[in-house]
Structure 1
Amino acid sequence: MSPNRLVLIAVAVAVGLCGCTVEPSIVIPAGAATTAYPGEPTPLPSGLVDPFAGYATVLDGRLAIVLSGSSSCPPHADSADLATMTFDFSVETEGPCKADLSPTTFEFYVPSTENLPTFITINFTAGDTASSQLPVLR
């Protein structure tokens, strides 16, 4: 079992023992995505080396894109071009944001998950715009 998974189990047990409830403190707008939520999808895809670098995977006929960033200032899915598999995201940089590198998952319905490319393009705007290629892991 990975150290990260052990930490997650320990936190879940601690929350259960104290009788506390943990609710997300922020609502993540889905934007162009079908749905968006804090955290990573389960199960994690095979071949995942560095989850903080961002990746895409297939979940029940949907394309899930996982990006890491501030949990208090999560990214927003602005647009999705399924013909070119290019996705635009932005983040509001005004105000205080935690530097906690929390994952956020965005799910998109795609016509077919069988013919997805090996990489998708992400354009990310936070002041400046940067483009990168994310692997599609299975």
Structure 2
Amino acid sequence: MSPNRPALIAIAIAVAVGMCGCTTEPSKVTPAGAATTAYPGAPTPLPSGLVDPFAGYATVVDGRLAIVLSGSSSCPPNADSADLATMTFGFSVDTEGPCTDDLAPRTFEFDVPSTENLPTFITINFTSGDTSSSQLPVLR
């Protein structure tokens, strides 16, 4: 073994540990869709007036509109479109392959011009086979 090999291994391990991004916050992953960011889980603290944390809702997180949807953790929804003029958001689910039968929340954050004058409800169009539409409350 060359005398520099242990030093190179130690450096490689240090770089790998440094790049892990170890944090207590959930990892925010930028999706390929219309949302600015998306991540597993719901933002904290939960908004007041939330009756069922597994029912979909919208809230404000760090100046962004956050939409929280629950569904299969192995086949999470994708943010496909955002019409900020009408507050209508499109989502789809890729069900290729097996999906777990659980209810895991996933949060999608959208940049909006202002969170001051958000409507009481936003519209969600969900495409998974058929298209369905629903109204989600905006909770504070």
Q: What percentage of residue pairs aligned between the two structures are identical?
A: 88
Return the index of the structure with the highest Cα Rg: 2
Deviation readout 1:67-114 (Å, 9 max, x if unpaired): 000000000000000000000000012210001110000000100000
Supply the AA of the counterpart residue of 1:87. F
Are residue 77 (structure 1) and residue 76 (structure 2) matched?
no
Runs in 1 of length 4+ with deviation above 3 angstroms?
Answer: none
Aligned match of 2:44 in 42, 51, 59?
Answer: 42
Aligned length: 113
Return the TM-score normalized by structure 2.
Answer: 0.77
Q: Is the 8 A contact 1:57 1:63 kept in 2?
A: yes
Stretches of structure 2 that go unaligned for 5 or more consecutive residues are 1-25
Using the TM superposition, give the Cα deviation of residue 28 of structure 1 relative to its aligned residue in structure 2, in angstroms: 7.5
| CA 39–106 in structure 1, closer or farther in 2 if over 3 Å, else same | same
User: Corresponding residue for 1:125?
Assistant: 127
Q: For 1:52, what is the secondary structure of its paired residue? A: coil
RMSD: 1.5
For the residue of structure 1 that corresponds to 2:127, the secondary structure is strand
Query: Given the two structures, how large is their TM-score scaled by the length of structure 1?
Result: 0.78
